[in-house]
Structure 1
Amino acid sequence: MNDPNYLIISSTTDYSTDLICCELEKRDQNYLRINRDRFSEYQILYMLQNDSLSIKMGDYAFTITPNRLKSVYFRAPVFLRNMGKPYTLQEQLYKSQWSSFIRNLILFDNATWVNHPVSIYGAENKLYQLKIAQQCCFPVPETYVGNTLPKSIQPEQTYIVKSLDTALFYDNGQEMFTYSTMISGRELLNAEIRSAPIIIQEYLWDKTDIRATVIDDTVFAVSITKSGRNIEGDWRKNEKESLKYSPIDLPVSVQEQIKELMNKLGLHFGGIDLAMVNDTYYFIEINYGGMGLVGIHHKTPH
Structure 2
Amino acid sequence: MRVTAALVAAIGVLLLLSGAALAQEDVAGSRDYPLFSRWPGYSLDIYEHSRFDAVEFELKDGEATVEGEYYYIDYYRKEGVEAATALEIIRNYENAIRKAGGVVLNTYGTSYTVGKIVQEGKEIWIRVHPWNDGRGIELKIVERQTMEQTIQANAASWRSDITATGHAAVYGIFFDTDKAEVKPESEPALAEMAKLLKDNPSLNVFIVGHTDNTGTFEHNLRLSLDRATAVVNALVGGHGIAVARLKPYGVASLAPVASNATEDGKAKNRRVELVER
Same fold (TM over 0.5): no
Structure number with larger C-alpha Rg: 2
Greater per-residue helix proportion: 2
> Structure 2-normalised TM-score?
0.31
